[in-house]
Amino acid sequence: MEPPEQRPIRTDRALPSLEQRRRLVAVAAGRAPADVRLRGAAVLDPFTGAVRQADVLICDRWIAAVVPRGDVAPEDVAPGDVQRPPPLADVTLDGGLLSPGLIDGHMHLESSLVTPARYAQAVLPRGVTGVVCDPHEVANVAGVAGVRWLLARAAGLPFDVFATVPSCVPSTELETPGARLDVEEIEGLLSEPGIVGLAELMSFPAVVAGEPSSHAKVRAAELRNGTVEGHAPGLRGAALQAYLSAGVVSDHEATTLEEGREKLRSGMFLFVREGSVAKDAAALAALVNEGRGGRVGFCTDDQLPHDLMRLGGVDHAVRTAVRAGADPAEALIAATWSVARHYRLPRRGAVAPGYLADLAWWRGDLGEVAAGRVWKEGLEVARDGRMVADVAGVARTAGPTASVSDAVLLDSVRIGEDLEAQLAATLRWRDDAPVGSPVPVVGVLAASLLTKARSAVPRVVDGALASDPERDLALLTCSERHGRVERSAAALVHGFGLVRGALACSVGHDHHNLMAVGAEPGSIATALRRVAALGGGMVAVAEGEVLAELALPLGGLLTDAPLSEVVAGLDRLDEAAASLGVTLPSPLMALSFLGLAVIPELKLTDHGLVEVAAGRVVPVPWGPAGGA
Amino acid sequence: MEPPEQRPIRTDRALPSLEQRRRLVAVAAGRAPADVRLRGAAVLDPFTGAVRQADVLICDRWIAAVVPRGDVAPEDVAPGDVQRPPPLADVTLDGGLLSPGLIDGHMHLESSLVTPARYAQAVLPRGVTGVVCDPHEVANVAGVAGVRWLLARAAGLPFDVFATVPSCVPSTELETPGARLDVEEIEGLLSEPGIVGLAELMSFPAVVAGEPSSHAKVRAAELRNGTVEGHAPGLRGAALQAYLSAGVVSDHEATTLEEGREKLRSGMFLFVREGSVAKDAAALAALVNEGRGGRVGFCTDDQLPHDLMRLGGVDHAVRTAVRAGADPAEALIAATWSVARHYRLPRRGAVAPGYLADLAWWRGDLGEVAAGRVWKEGLEVARDGRMVADVAGVARTAGPTASVSDAVLLDSVRIGEDLEAQLAATLRWRDDAPVGSPVPVVGVLAASLLTKARSAVPRVVDGALASDPERDLALLTCSERHGRVERSAAALVHGFGLVRGALACSVGHDHHNLMAVGAEPGSIATALRRVAALGGGMVAVAEGEVLAELALPLGGLLTDAPLSEVVAGLDRLDEAAASLGVTLPSPLMALSFLGLAVIPELKLTDHGLVEVAAGRVVPVPWGPAGGA
């Protein structure tokens, strides 16, 4: 039996100090006045599923008591009620319903392109008071330090950011990340405050096949009492049983009721997902009513900037399910209580004595799931869709996580001095390769992570692979940018519509090397250099000029700018792309997924053109001998 | 912010090694044969509340897969099913229902008077595969070492013993325990394997009043992710809100539906209790159906030897509730899944892939809740009400807990050399005290922990307090036996019917000093000396002879003897007591509660006669000046 390993105690701010406990109990018992009393609304109770009229008494950052209103049925008024002193502040709500703030049970903060503070500003007014994220983007760029940085940025916000430890960095061995998270790194992170377990085990085939390192990661999480999150699209039958037997406890990939029900009854906690990339809430709405008050939650997974601004966060998942028939009270319970219990988030998930005063007041028709007022730990942070608390200015709490400097994520884009020569070598047609045969072409699909494996006979100009705008064939490149190896890879891509210039970005899931699509190698080089000069971001160039750009200087993934600026920047990039002939919607976003070597059929990493299903780099007649 | 504290990792045997995981996944996926296949029964699923026909495939100590039977409705047969190799062993069950083994959610092992191995032998055939105990008896006698001893004795048994850290040792400051568990001791224990949190905070008035040390104990448990168990009989309204605001998460003391429902909706996890001392399962049966599949569990609290042998363990609580109208499936879910989730017991509480193969097969009419066959971690341990595995011979697993020697609990009864003189001093009528006035008398009630405060004019013979059999007034004594202070206290007791001789025992809740009731001081001394010579136990003596005895040499609380011998011993003691004129049923048991200074109205500790409600020692006209 191995020696017990040490795990730091959760120093979660949800746990009151001794003095805070003394005050809290005094207020609850009626000996001291509440700081705030909320009255006039109904209160949702996840323990019985009921909704009842009650006053909520808040002391400091916690709920001290939930007191049934005097005008309720006698059997609801308990013996032992006392005459309470008037509260220091009284808030009268005009009907409506109080629930805990919503918790997004699985999401990637980096998909929003903004920092935790900006994300919080976007979703707090929607009634979302916390997220559990899988920070595998920052982990791919900056490893363990990146994860710590993200949590440090979140510390002190009136918003909860919990994280799972990314389990698949890199996501394949056919790409070069900025860092690796192997079992040792994972073990180290699992013990840190704010970490709740192991992130989605996307490599479910490896888990089912018994691959040792994935099982070692699971064991590390279980030994430290962490969750083991799953990701198993379409996994059914015996393979699903195997995935569960490994210790995986959840999934968010179900798209049909049948699949969801099999997963539920087999023992998975199910997140109903609604985000920019996957929209399953309407199809799975019935599951919300089948979770027995604890087995179903909600998540967004990836919420891109436009959707975040227009639709919100996980509130939109709840709203979508309710519109499709989920019971509103059960949906709110799923989005709060069930998620908090699944992750064992202390003192969260109910409007009940002792819980954090994280509250959302839902106005009028609950089917709209529209938050009127929102409190985080007793502080009113939003009202009528707007922030009323200063998120950006909230002082950071002292502690180990607050000392992680931005330096770990700045200047993260390193390209070689002679980029043009590197690209030329990448595009150079091999001497021994005949011209005139078809080669693989990446076929981009609108609004999809999937690509089709196409083929075409390429134009070869001056001994180099060339674009062919008339056939909608552009050059696609991926250039390593973490400073670990100087290399690029190239391919032809169909579907952008690009006829001149280039687009480039430093967001290139999951390895986040530089992705570019262009008509001319020169434009590609210009675009890549501009991305590097920005410290990361997205650019559109033509004829040596930058037409539009969005700086993402934090890891080449994120910016401190407000969400509205990011959306405006993306809009300008889309317009610029359109001026280059691009017809594909959201081309920069599409470009950022063309290196995602876990989603079929054909993707491009710095290693080369990857046939995803076969898990191999395809030999091509251009580039350095033997491939990248 | 205080520095994070360290907590050893849970090295629970529920977590497979890497090699075990490899095998488990292979069996689940259908690549390798199961060790055992159970087929023919229905399987209970706590995730959806359904019961469905399925085969259960076991690999090593875990369930690898739960495979719907071929003859079920097509929608239940999942895509992705495989042709599985035949299992190494096939077990055919004749209908019936498979559930996980039951888990007693709150109990005191010491009430059974037997060791964990003997307790396991008694309840495994009933379908009970685990308990969560509050070992405050051994803690009162031997402190932290006592708790570790109990867990060490349980290690290696095919039976789960988890423990909470006793929170109230001593239970009052008006008694002398063998050890104290203050915040430091509690913090130390909270980090140890097998410990799930803080035990029932019986001092709920102190918690509600904001008393600092109780809140410090709660905080210590929360910091270490442990549960905070409650004990709040009759607590309602504002005081209940205060108790919950302190962080307490459960209760087992509800006796009415109304009280139970208020506690449930206020946020408490509710244990429905049925044991020797409290019988609430019938009254609370309806709550089992209201727990939304997760908020209600079952427990026994105290199960005395006769009941343990005749009725069983927590299975009897389930049976009682079902007979009173609880849905059988919901009751089994409450007794397994809900308890396992409440305490976060890893890989326990469901018949599902990855869970320990702790299984109970319920025959025929589920309302009888009669276990036909029982498995613990894949090993069949019981069949048709009998053990079929050797519990006593199971090798202990290596590890820290296995090295706690019995020495910490042997020779735990220390009495002074001159016991007779000590007793004489205790009974000596004070020179300045008038004779002829009434004095307080402890009024024993049959089958109750309560006593009535009576009074009577005592017989004083030869300057000493004396018994008066004609008025059913016997001498009651409490003698410190932990070796911390040489002292006894005495009082008159009414209700035993004892006319000659004496009874004595080393079980004296909660401080476990020596309790005796007798007609003559000489008989009392004889009885106490015999208890000490046994190393602890219960005796009946008359005329200098031991009429009957039951040795409890482990801490003066427990014996390694089989349960049947203990029951026989108690029966002989009861007969012997009857021969002494005793009319009170179970007089030794009643005697063992007469020092319980937290239950009204009047109790006797080594400090003296305690008026429980007032929380003070009553001055009496006998004994050393100024009281004990």
Helix (H) or strand (E) holding A470: none
- CA B598 to chain A, closest CA, distance in angstroms equals 21
Least CA distance to B74: which residue of chain A?
A: A258
Q: What are phi and psi of B32, to 5 degrees?
A: -135, 155
| Low-confidence stretches of chain B (pLDDT beneath 50) | 1-10, 71-74, 77, 394-401, 627-628
**Yes or no, beta carbons of B218 and A67 under 8 Å apart:** no
- For residue A482, list its beta bridge partners: A414
Task: Tally Cβ neighbours within 10 Å of residue A315.
Answer: 26
- Rounded to whole angstroms, the Cα distance separating B387 from B375 reads 11
DSSP states of A352-396: STTSB--EEEE-S-GGG--EEEEEETTEEEEETTEE-S-STTPPP
More confident residue, A30 or B364: A30
Q: Which residues are within 8 A (CB) of B614 and not within 5 positions of it... i.e. 6 or more apart?
A: none
Residues in B closer than 8 angstroms to A238, CB to CB, are 28-30, 65, 67, 80-82, 84
Question: Sign (positive/negative) of CA torsion B85, B88, B92, B96?
Answer: negative
Pairs of CB atoms within 8 A across A/B: 281
Helix (H) or strand (E) holding B457: none
- Rounded to whole angstroms, the Cα distance separating B586 from B578 reads 10
Q: How far apart are the first and last CA of chain B?
A: 46
**Yes or no, beta carbons of B267 and A354 under 8 Å apart:** yes
Residue B154 CA to its chain's centroid (Å): 14
**Yes or no, beta carbons of A47 and B265 under 8 Å apart:** yes
Residues in A closer than 8 angstroms to B80, CB to CB, are 235-240
Nearest CB to B212 within list A18, A193, A399: A18
Which of A53, A196, A245, A270 is the best residue to mutate to test the B interface, defined by the most B CB atoms within 10 Å of its own CB? A245
Residues in A closer than 8 angstroms to B208, CB to CB, are 25, 29
Q: Which of B113, B109, B141, B110 is nearest to B413 (CA)?
A: B141
**Yes or no, beta carbons of A245 and B295 under 8 Å apart:** no
Asked whether the bond before B166 is cis by omega within 30 degrees of 0, the reply is no
**Yes or no, beta carbons of B7 and A2 under 8 Å apart:** no
Return the DSSP state at A175: S
- Rounded to whole angstroms, the Cα distance separating A310 from A315 reads 12
Q: What is the pLDDT of residue A8?
A: 34
Please name the residue that has the structure tokens 């509730």: B321
- Rounded to whole angstroms, the Cα distance separating A58 from A33 reads 9
- Rounded to whole angstroms, the Cα distance separating B354 from B352 reads 6
- For residue B356, list its beta bridge partners: B62
* A252-256, A415-419, B469-473: least confident range: A415-419
**Yes or no, beta carbons of A25 and B350 under 8 Å apart:** no
Q: Which tens digit of pLDDT belongs to each residue from A302-335?
A: 999 999 999 999 999 999 999 999 999 999 999 9
Least CA distance to A338: which residue of chain B?
A: B294
Least CA distance to B343: which residue of chain A?
A: A344
Maximal C-alpha separation, chain A = 92
- For B407-513, where are the E strands, in sequence order? 439-444, 451-456, 459-461, 464-466, 473-479, 488-494, 502-505
Q: What is the pLDDT of residue B366?
A: 76
Which region holds residue A165: left if phi is over 0, alpha if psi is between -120 and 50, else beta?
Answer: beta
**Yes or no, beta carbons of A346 and B47 under 8 Å apart:** no
Q: Which tens digit of pLDDT belongs to each residue from A420-468?
A: 999 999 999 999 899 999 999 999 999 889 999 999 999 999 999 999 9
**Yes or no, beta carbons of B18 and A64 under 8 Å apart:** no
Q: What is the pLDDT of residue A523?
A: 98
Question: Sign (positive/negative) of CA torsion A582, A585, A586, A591?
Answer: negative
- Rounded to whole angstroms, the Cα distance separating B604 from B524 reads 15
Which two structure tokens, joined as six digits, stand for B412? 């735990």
Please name the residue that has the structure tokens 């305490």: B343
- For B532-605, where are the E strands, in sequence order? 537-542, 545-551, 602-605
Q: Is A489 helix (H, G, I), strand (E, B) or coil?
A: strand
Which two structure tokens, joined as six digits, stand for A276? 């920019």
Residues in A closer than 8 angstroms to B222, CB to CB, are 15, 346
Nearest CB to A28 within list B15, B218, B238: B238
Q: Which tens digit of pLDDT belongs to each residue from A82-141?
A: 889 999 999 999 999 999 999 999 999 999 999 999 999 999 999 999 999 999 999 999
DSSP states of B285-297: HHHHTTSTTTSEE
- For A28-171, where are the E strands, in sequence order? 36-39, 42-44, 51-59, 62-68, 89-92, 97-100, 102-107, 128-133, 160-165
Encode burial over B485-515: b for 16+ CB neighbours within 10 A, e otherwise.
ebbbbbbbbbbbbbebbbbbbbbbbbbbbbb
Q: Is B110 helix (H, G, I), strand (E, B) or coil?
A: helix
Q: Is A195 helix (H, G, I), strand (E, B) or coil?
A: strand
In this predicted structure, the answer to whether residue A510 has a pLDDT above a threshold of 60 is yes
Report the C-alpha dihedral over residues B517, B521, B522, B526, rounded to 10 degrees. Answer: 40
Least CA distance to B338: which residue of chain A?
A: A294
**Yes or no, beta carbons of B353 and A398 under 8 Å apart:** no
Nearest CB to B219 within list A21, A66, A399: A21
**Yes or no, beta carbons of B292 and A294 under 8 Å apart:** yes
- Rounded to whole angstroms, the Cα distance separating A123 from A298 reads 15
Which two structure tokens, joined as six digits, stand for A194? 């704010």
Asked if B28 contacts B57 with a C-beta cutoff of 8 angstroms, the reply is yes
Residues in B closer than 8 angstroms to A241, CB to CB, are 28-29, 64-67, 353
Return the DSSP state at A150: H
Asked if A553 contacts A535 with a C-beta cutoff of 8 angstroms, the reply is yes
**Yes or no, beta carbons of B222 and A262 under 8 Å apart:** no
Task: Tally Cβ neighbours within 10 Å of residue B618.
Answer: 16
Share of chain A above pLDDT 70, in %: 94
- CA B72 to chain A, closest CA, distance in angstroms equals 14
Residue B24 CA to its chain's centroid (Å): 35
**Yes or no, beta carbons of B267 and A15 under 8 Å apart:** no
- CA A161 to chain B, closest CA, distance in angstroms equals 19
Q: Is B499 helix (H, G, I), strand (E, B) or coil?
A: coil
Least CA distance to A45: which residue of chain B?
A: B265
Report the C-alpha dihedral over residues B97, B103, B107, B112, rounded to 10 degrees. Answer: 60
Residue type, A479: S
Which of B2, B22, B47 is the best residue to mutate to test the A interface, defined by the most A CB atoms within 10 Å of its own CB? B47
Q: What is the pLDDT of residue B416?
A: 86
Maximal C-alpha separation, chain B = 92
Return the DSSP state at B97: E
Asked if A399 contacts B1 with a C-beta cutoff of 8 angstroms, the reply is yes
pLDDT, mean over chain A? 93
Q: Is A564 helix (H, G, I), strand (E, B) or coil?
A: helix
Residues in A closer than 8 angstroms to B354, CB to CB, are 244-248, 267
Which two structure tokens, joined as six digits, stand for B418? 């001159």
Residue type, B323: R
**Yes or no, beta carbons of B398 and A1 under 8 Å apart:** yes
Nearest CB to A1 within list B11, B29, B215: B11
- Rounded to whole angstroms, the Cα distance separating A326 from A329 reads 9
Q: Which residues are within 8 A (CB) of B34 and not within 5 positions of it... i.e. 6 or more apart?
A: B27, B57, B58, B59, B64, B65, B84, B87, B88
Residues in A closer than 8 angstroms to B52, CB to CB, are 265
CA distances from residue A353 to A413, A594, B103, B211, B293 in whole angstroms, order as listed: 49, 49, 28, 18, 22
Helix (H) or strand (E) holding B102: strand B102-107
Helix (H) or strand (E) holding B369: none
Q: Is A571 exposed, middle or buried (0-12, 13-18, 19+ CB in 10 A)?
A: middle
Asked whether the bond before B601 is cis by omega within 30 degrees of 0, the reply is yes
- CA B212 to chain A, closest CA, distance in angstroms equals 7
**Yes or no, beta carbons of B208 and A29 under 8 Å apart:** yes
Least CA distance to B330: which residue of chain A?
A: A292
Nearest CB to B1 within list A242, A293, A399: A399
Residue type, B75: E
Encode burial over A588-619: b for 16+ CB neighbours within 10 A, e otherwise.
bbbbbbbbbbbebbbbbbbbbbbbbeeeebbe
Q: Which tens digit of pLDDT belongs to each residue from A135-172?
A: 999 999 999 999 999 999 998 899 999 999 999 999 99
Which two structure tokens, joined as six digits, stand for B608? 């003296």
Residues in B closer than 8 angstroms to A397, CB to CB, are 1
- CA A525 to chain B, closest CA, distance in angstroms equals 48
Which of A17, A223, A265, A356 is the best residue to mutate to test the B interface, defined by the most B CB atoms within 10 Å of its own CB? A265
Nearest CB to B4 within list A193, A212, A261: A193
Q: What is the pLDDT of residue B75?
A: 52
**Yes or no, beta carbons of A9 and B7 under 8 Å apart:** yes
- Rounded to whole angstroms, the Cα distance separating A377 from A373 reads 13
Over the Cα atoms of chain B, what is R_g? 26
Which two structure tokens, joined as six digits, stand for B15? 């977590």
What is the ipTM metric for this complex? 0.93
Least CA distance to B12: which residue of chain A?
A: A223
- CA A611 to chain B, closest CA, distance in angstroms equals 24
- Rounded to whole angstroms, the Cα distance separating A75 from A342 reads 32
**Yes or no, beta carbons of B22 and A210 under 8 Å apart:** yes
Please name the residue that has the structure tokens 């013990």: A191
CA distances from residue A76 to A564, B235, B298 in whole angstroms, order as listed: 47, 15, 25
